[in-house]
């Protein structure tokens, strides 16, 4: 008696199934989104320059995390851009180092893709530093004189000099035109057409880290320094009048009798720049080959010294020649002054101040002799010699 009831129940289930099918949309299930893809912007097939950022990109998704670590596990700083599709390092890498890059990206369906890369940097044969002259700590209190060239002195000879110059920066306030010139294969100098204006602020940079300096040598690090030019102090030593006249900001403030180099050891002509100050110095002729027992040998402690060339030329006290000062040239190339006048010069002049020597009978100060920069005509200097 109950079988018909059971059959109705089954039929009722069938009706529900038909009704449910009639209410469906009839469409297919959407395909899953493709997995995100992670790539490096640059090929890792060969070592990269340490100044080249490691750049990670995601396609078909966004980056969620990226870490770059060196062999010691130190993390390299980086930042994201383009809405999370790109990430790149924001600090320089090291030479000859292997970096591990781990990246995670997620596609629109929330599926993660993780990938690890290895990046190596170039390993130079050698590196060189770009040191500045004068050292900033030496002139931090007094500033520099109007004749002071800006100098980067490299610790290794530079072959790719034209390439290096592209990475040297000078900013002067107020603006004054200037140019770089190589005085030897390790030293590049910058000066203006004329002396710096008093009060000028000078900022110099050698952005040479990662730069190929030539012959397998790369820049060891960048260097940047600020200088300020103090008042103008220019002394003029005239071999005809045997007088040293001193000008402060263009105004004559002192005239002193002096003695330049005698005919056999004449002082160099031209612009000299104070490069060193010493209250006392032992001057020994053996330093240039005239030693004890030779005619003309001397060894003397000299006071209040202003070095104006590496060829042994100074402005200094010379009590032994006071009788000839103002009337005859009797020194070994220096500017001889009385003790009182030498003390005044020593107390007044600082690094970068100028001593112009004329009518000395000597050759012009060579460009390679410390700061013989001003011997080169501006037209020649401005043209540069990086490719010479």
Per-residue pLDDT tens digits for 258-293: 999 999 999 999 999 999 999 998 776 676 677 877
Instruction: Give the pLDDT band of residue 6 (cuts 50, 70, 90).
Output: very low
DSSP 8-state code for residue 196: P
Closest C-alpha to 334, from 269, 259, 282: 259
Please report the pLDDT score of residue 285 as a whole number: 66
pLDDT band at 362 (very low <50, low <70, confident <90, very high): very high
For residues 296-318, give the mean pLDDT: 90
Query: Of 189, 230, 268, 334, which residue is the catalytic one?
Result: 334
Least confident range from 163-177, 197-211, 294-308, 313-327: namely 294-308
Question: Does residue 297 have a pLDDT over 70?
Answer: no
Average pLDDT score over residue span 71-88? 93
Residue 334 annotated to the active site: yes
**Closest by CA position to 182, among listed 365, 384, 376, 372:** 384
Residue 178 structure tokens: 């200037």
| DSSP one-letter code for 47 | P
With H, G, I as helix, E, B as strand and everything else as coil, classify residue 42: coil
Q: Does residue 268 carry a catalytic annotation?
A: no
First to last CA, the chain: 119
- Checking if the pLDDT of 16 tops 50, the result is no
- Inform me whether the pLDDT recorded for 1 exceeds 90: no
Report the alpha-carbon angle 350-352-358, nearest 5. Answer: 105
What is the pLDDT, as a whole number, of residue 361?
A: 96
Q: Which of 189, 268, 272, 316 is catalytic?
A: 316
Residue with tokens 């990269």: 48
DSSP structure class, residue 364: B
Reduced to 3 states, what is the DSSP secondary structure of residue 119?
Answer: strand
Q: What is the mean pLDDT of residues 336-351?
A: 98
Can you give the pTM of this predicted structure? 0.85
Distance CA 152, CA 131 (A): 5
Strands 243-248 and 233-238: antiparallel
């Amino acid at each position: 008696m109950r079988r018909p009831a059971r059959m109705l129940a089954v039929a009722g289930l069938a009706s529900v199934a038909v009704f449910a099918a009639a209410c469906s949309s009839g469409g297919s299930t959407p395909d899953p989104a493709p997995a995100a893809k992670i790539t490096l912007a640059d090929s890792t097939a060969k070592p990269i320059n340490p100044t080249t950022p490691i750049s990670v990109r995601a396609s078909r998704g966004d980056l969620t995390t990226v870490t770059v670590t060196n062999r010691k596990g130190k993390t390299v700083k980086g930042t994201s851009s383009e809405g999370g599709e790109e990430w790149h390092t924001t600090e320089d890498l090291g030479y000859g180092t292997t970096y591990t890059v781990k990246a995670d990206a997620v596609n629109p369906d929330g599926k993660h893709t993780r990938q690890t890369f290895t990046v190596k940097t170039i390993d130079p044969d050698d590196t060189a530093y770009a040191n500045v002259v004068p050292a900033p700590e030496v002139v931090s209190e007094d500033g520099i004189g109007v004749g002071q060239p800006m100098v980067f002195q490299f610790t290794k000879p530079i072959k790719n000099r034209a390439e290096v110059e592209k990475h040297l920066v000078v900013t002067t306030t107020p603006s004054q035109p200037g140019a770089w010139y190589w005085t030897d294969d390790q030293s590049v100098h910058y000066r203006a057409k004329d002396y710096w204006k008093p009060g000028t602020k000078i900022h110099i940079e050698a952005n040479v880290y990662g730069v190929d300096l030539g012959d397998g040598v790369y820049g060891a690090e960048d260097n940047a320094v600020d200088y300020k030019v103090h008042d103008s102090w220019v002394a003029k030593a005239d071999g005809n009048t045997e007088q040293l006249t001193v000008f402060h900001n263009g105004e004559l403030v002192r005239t002193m009798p002096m003695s330049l180099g005698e005919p056999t050891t004449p002082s160099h002509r031209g612009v000299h720049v104070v490069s060193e100050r010493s209250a006392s110095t032992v001057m020994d002729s053996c330093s240039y080959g005239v030693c004890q027992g030779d005619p003309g040998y001397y060894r003397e402690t000299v006071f209040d010294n202003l070095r104006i060339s590496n060829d042994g030329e100074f402005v200094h006290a010379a009590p032994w020649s006071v009788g000839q000062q103002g009337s005859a040239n009797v020194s070994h190339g220096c500017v001889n002054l009385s003790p009182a006048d030498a003390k005044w010069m020593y107390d007044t002049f600082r690094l970068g101040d100028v001593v112009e020597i004329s009518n000395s009978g000597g050759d012009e100060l060579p460009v390679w002799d410390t700061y013989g920069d001003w011997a080169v005509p501006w037209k020649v200097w401005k043209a540069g010699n990086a490719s010479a």
